[in-house]
Amino acid sequence: MLKETLGDYQNDGYTVVRQAIPQVEMEPFLNLIREKVDTYARALMAAGKISNLYEDLPFQDRLAAIHDSKELGSLQEWQLPPIGPELKTLMEHPGILNALESQLGPHITCNGDHMLRINLPNSDKTPFRFHQDSQYYGQETRHAHIVTVWLPLVNVNEVNSCLYVIPGSHRWDLIDSARDENGRMRSFEDVEARGEPVPVPMNVGDIMMFTNMTFHGSKINKSNSVRISIDFRYARTPGTYKANKEVQASEAFMAEKVRRNKRIAPMVVRGDNPAIKKGNANAN
């Protein structure tokens, strides 16, 4: 039975919703991952880089076996196509949106910045050190309210690299940082001395929500399987809420950055879309 490290979003900067998505409803997306792993294995076989497809193994063990003692890269860029029906269904799942509504209100946009995370066994390159997401977004986003929703695609614990969070760190300011040799942010302050990280074991179907200012990270995967997860980012839909100028400026900066740099445009996933309403009004 999982230790109940649930967190309180307002006080701790994160929370976990157990079985927000029934495991049977995760299967279409998990099947997509299985297909991608199979395609990847067959491409490596065709290139002469592996001699066994490991077809009998679960996808997380199969990826680990493919990479065992081989220099095949870190899989940091092993990503899904920009969007597809399985991904869109997961991104808009009512279990996620119902949980988000208590934090963001009834009008929610997914900003399109989804990432599939591959944490290889015993790799010091694939874990993420403790960071705030706004360290990646930019100083201008520190007043925004952006919620990351993190979903494990395998059951996770302290052995195979569950997430760790520092409760209450969302109330700190944005800590100065710079990218290391792997492109990961490193804070100039020892944040673990300032706040104690807690591990958050989770099962497939659980979701974690945390703010863009909450310190979180992962450690080396000490299991024999790959830890795979996916994360999405959500915010209040522009034009549907009131906020002070600092917040408006931060969220406008983030929205423009996403539109300029990301693979897919932000998508309204719940509630009103003022842009569509305005377009309809202009059409009339």
162: domain range? 9-23+75-271
Helices assigned H by DSSP within 124-241? 133-137, 191-194
Phi/psi of residue 48, each to 5°? 75, 20
Whose tokens are 């919620």? That residue is: 147
What CA dihedral angle connects 204, 127, 125 and 90, to 10 degrees? 40
The residue among 15 and 183 whose pLDDT is bigger is 15
Helix or strand (DSSP H, E) at 209: strand 207-211
Tell me, yes or no, whether 32 lies in a domain.
no
Give tens-digit pLDDT for 191-240: 999 999 999 999 999 999 999 999 999 999 999 999 999 999 999 998 89
Report the alpha-carbon distance of residue 229 to residue 153 in Å, rounded: 5
- CATH number for the domain spanning 93: value is 2.60.120.620
pLDDT band with cut points at 50, 70 and 90 for residue 43: confident
Tell me, yes or no, whether 265 lies in a domain.
yes
Give tens-digit pLDDT for 164-187: 999 999 999 999 988 887 778 788
Residue 195 CA: distances (Å) to CA of 53, 57, 164, 180: 44, 40, 12, 22
Whose tokens are 């300029």? That residue is: 260
Tell me, yes or no, whether 97 lies in a domain.
yes
Tell me, yes or no, whether 48 lies in a domain.
no
Tell me, yes or no, whether 33 lies in a domain.
no
pLDDT band with cut points at 50, 70 and 90 for residue 281: very low
Give tens-digit pLDDT for 229-280: 999 999 999 889 999 999 999 988 888 888 777 666 788 999 988 876 655 5
pLDDT band with cut points at 50, 70 and 90 for residue 123: confident
Burial 73-91, CB ≥16 within 10 A → b, else e = ebbbeeebeeeeebbeebb
Number of domains in the chain: 1
Tell me, yes or no, whether 35 lies in a domain.
no
Question: Would you tell me how many other CB atoms lie within 10 Å of the CB of residue 32?
Answer: 17
Tell me, yes or no, whether 148 lies in a domain.
yes
pLDDT band with cut points at 50, 70 and 90 for residue 25: very high
Tell me, yes or no, whether 67 lies in a domain.
no
Report the alpha-carbon distance of residue 107 to residue 109 in Å, rounded: 7
Q: Whose CA is closest to 214, among 4, 20, 5, 7?
A: 7
Give tens-digit pLDDT for 73-115: 555 445 655 568 999 999 999 999 999 999 999 999 998 778 8
Whose tokens are 């409803």? That residue is: 25
The predicted structure's pLDDT at residue 283: 40
